[in-house]
């Protein structure tokens, strides 16, 4: 449900809007972008580059976010970079002494997760993104770990039960992703000369969509 937009510069966050409500992302993304530009008093052509979260995450939300970012970048011949959703979430807990595990509810009894740690002004990836059961994730945790993300809404009690004192939890205000974190990581990539090709940048799904499963003949309908 959560999505947002942000504008950042070398001086910090200029503006950021976050919504965590049950409303189609397609209906709120463009109005949020328009509001941000109007409130700051700039036009799209004054933006030097765009950053977009590319996943993992909800299939529809990722497609909408990525297609919108591509359209904006293409319209003004501007730069675009993709940013890992989980890495951007880990970025919101700087100088954390423990390893960090963002988790997203992937439905079907699974969570999307990865392990990170902070090293100075960098966030270091310790594991690849994976869609696993909370029990499988718990079996891979061997040290105190800070969890954050919407997966806690469903699986916090499971993690507490499985991991005991090894499970630490970010406060409510720090559990969700932030558009400003995506923007800041994207800005860093752009300043280091990284660029993504508009035609090749794609969402990072950790498992096939239902449509792909049907096409592959592995979709089994559930009888009521």
Q: Closest Cα to residue 179, out of 70, 67, 65?
A: 65
Q: Three-state DSSP class for 72? A: helix
How far is Cα 89 from Cα 178, in angstroms, rounded to an integer? 7
Interval 153-170 mean pLDDT: 97
Residues 76 and 181 in one domain: yes
pLDDT for the residue 25 = 78
Phi-psi domain of 86 (left: phi exceeds 0; alpha: psi -120 through 50; beta: other): alpha
Residues 98 and 111 in one domain: yes
**Is the model's pLDDT at 207 over the cut of 80?**
no
Residue 221 lies in a domain: no
Residue 193 lies in a domain: yes
Q: What is the number of structural domains in the chain?
A: 2
Residues 103 and 142 in one domain: yes
pTM of this structure: 0.91
For residues 89 and 102, the answer to whether their CB atoms sit within 8 Å is: yes
Residue 188 lies in a domain: yes
Residues 57 and 166 in one domain: no
Residues 78 and 183 in one domain: yes
Residue 223 lies in a domain: no
pLDDT for the residue 1 = 77
Residue 6 lies in a domain: yes
**Is the model's pLDDT at 224 over the cut of 80?**
no
pLDDT band at 217; cut points 50, 70, 90:
low
pLDDT for the residue 220 = 44
For residues 161 and 150, the answer to whether their CB atoms sit within 8 Å is: no
Sequence-separated (6 or more) residues with CB below 8 Å from residue 166? 141, 142, 143, 144, 145
Residues 104 and 149 in one domain: yes
Structure confidence by residue, pLDDT tens digits, 32-68: 999 999 999 999 999 999 999 999 988 898 999 999 9
How far is Cα 193 from Cα 38, in angstroms, rounded to an integer? 29
Residue 224 lies in a domain: no
pLDDT for the residue 223 = 37
Q: By mean pLDDT, which of 11-15, 177-181, 185-189, 219-223 is the weakest?
A: 219-223
Residues 13 and 114 in one domain: no
Structure confidence by residue, pLDDT tens digits, 105-149: 999 999 999 999 999 999 999 999 999 999 999 999 999 999 999
For 148, counting Cβ atoms within 10 Å of its Cβ (0-12 exposed, 13-18 middle, 19+ buried), the class is buried
Sequence-separated (6 or more) residues with CB below 8 Å from residue 25? 3, 60, 61, 64, 65
User: Above pLDDT 70, what percent of the chain?
Assistant: 92
pLDDT for the residue 209 = 54
Residues 101 and 170 in one domain: yes
CATH of the domain at 31: 3.30.420.40
Residues 170 and 191 in one domain: no
Residue 150 lies in a domain: yes
Q: Which domain holds residue 29?
A: 2-84+177-216
Residue 27 lies in a domain: yes
pLDDT for the residue 123 = 97
pLDDT for the residue 24 = 78
């Amino acid at each position: 449900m959560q999505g947002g937009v942000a504008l950042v510069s070398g001086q910090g966050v200029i503006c950021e809007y976050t919504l965590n409500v049950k409303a189609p992302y397609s209906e709120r993304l463009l109005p949020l972008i328009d509001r941000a530009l109007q409130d700051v008093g700039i036009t799209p052509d004054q933006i030097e580059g765009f950053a977009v979260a590319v996943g993992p995450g909800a299939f529809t939300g990722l497609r909408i976010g990525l297609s919108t970012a591509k359209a904006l970048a293409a319209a003004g011949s501007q730069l675009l970079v993709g940013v890992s959703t989980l890495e951007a979430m880990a970025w919101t807990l700087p100088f954390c002494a423990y390893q960090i595990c963002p988790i997203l509810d992937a439905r079907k009894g699974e969570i999307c997760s990865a392990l990170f740690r902070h090293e100075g002004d960098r966030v270091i990836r310790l594991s690849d993104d994976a869609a696993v059961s909370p029990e499988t994730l718990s079996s891979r945790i061997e040290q105190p770990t800070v969890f954050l993300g919407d997966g806690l809404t469903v699986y916090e009690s499971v993690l507490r039960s499985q991991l005991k004192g090894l499970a630490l939890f970010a406060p409510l205000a720090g559990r969700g992703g932030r558009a400003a974190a995506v923007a800041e990581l994207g800005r860093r990539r752009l300043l280091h000369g990284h660029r993504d090709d508009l035609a090749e940048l794609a969402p990072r799904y950790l498992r096939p969509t239902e449509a792909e499963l049907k096409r592959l003949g592995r979709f089994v309908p559930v009888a009521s």
